[in-house]
A and B are shown apart, each in its own frame.
Chain A
Amino acid sequence: DAKTTQPNSMESNEEEPVHLPCNHSTISGTDYIHWYRQLPSQGPEYVIHGLTSNVNNRMASLAIAEDRKSSTLILHRATLRDAAVYYCILRDRQAGTALIFGKGTTLSVSS
């Protein structure tokens, strides 16, 4: 699986949008882009995934660059509960289903 690069940490204020970047310059054509988050003292939680087109769900939006070498997870209105470590993970659709986690981005949200 190709590697991803994320900032170590980011800060946000409550009720403001948050844009979490991820670089994956060596992404292959069969790699899906996944985002998980891990709240304090909990297991990781699936957030969203995409291949080429932008994706929206109830939790977040995923914006994928046209060349697919980067993507951005968008939280439209941050809440205190969104404070977590966010992981950007590439998964080849042909590979086994294990996830390879990096260190992720620690998001802090202030009231």
Chain B
Amino acid sequence: NAGVTQTPKFQVLKTGQSMTLQCAQDMNHNSMYWYRQDPGMGLRLIYYSASEGTTDKGEVPNGYNVSRLNKREFSLRLESAAPSQTSVYFCASSEAGQGPRPQHFGDGTRLSIL
């Protein structure tokens, strides 16, 4: 049961470098999300995609771009990495629609920016 798969699991970047974090789900979910989690904190929403072809900003979108490549895949890009973007990044997916649809999370990408 793959669920939500994130790659890579770990990455170290230098300030100013660019990188794309990949996320894929095999549950045929319409909605996908990117969160970041800083030490001792809860998760904060960066971007989400309610359905294929749509994306919307979350709480902390600055410095990031996203692409909903197809129904399965949702990528997060850092164009010019900054030390403040050092964090653990989680991708999640859920079925479409309003109401209490549980979100399914990947195991995260641990990103350090020097």
Contact = CB atoms under 8 A, between A and B. Distances in A.
Interface of A: 32, 34, 36, 41-46, 49, 87, 91, 93-104
A97 B50 contact: yes
A98 B90 contact: no
Nearest to A44: B105
Nearest to B110: A41
A103 B42 contact: yes
Give the size range of B's interface with the partner.
20 to 34
Contacts of B44: 101
B103 A97 contact: yes
A49 B94 CA distance: 15
Nearest to A99: B103
Most buried by B among A34, A41, A91, A96: A96
A91 B100 contact: yes
B13 interface: no
Interface string B38-68: 0011111100101000001010000000000
